[in-house]
Amino acid sequence: MALEALLSAEPGAQWSKARLARAAGVSPHGGIDEHVDGFVRIGLLERRDGGYALAEPAPPYLASLEALVSQLHALPDR
């Protein structure tokens, strides 16, 4: 999932839409566009040097988002 890839990346990592699409397991030909646009709108990602990176400073909800993703990983598969 795109969000997991972003949250697990090294600090300062840069992403192209194609790289993020591959990390998320979706088509690099339009499969990630809406996700990236949404992440930019909520202040999680910012455009940087022709690509994207986690916003600096980090948005105030980042720790809660990371905790939520961690809790989702703990749920059993159905």
- What are the sequence ranges of the domains in the chain? 2-74
Considering the domain 2-74 in this protein, what is its CATH number?
Answer: 1.10.10
pLDDT value at position 48? 93
Residue 29 banded pLDDT, cuts 50, 70, 90:
confident
Q: Average pLDDT, stretch 22-37?
A: 89
Q: DSSP letter at 10?
A: P
Segments of 1-78 assigned E as strands? 45-48, 51-54
Nearest Cα neighbor of 58 from 19, 7, 1 is 7
Q: Six-digit token pair at 32?
A: 């990630």
Nearest Cα neighbor of 39 from 73, 74, 9, 75 is 9
Vertex 14: Cα angle to 12 and 20 (nearest 5): 130
Residue 47 banded pLDDT, cuts 50, 70, 90:
very high
pTM of this structure: 0.84
pLDDT value at position 30? 81
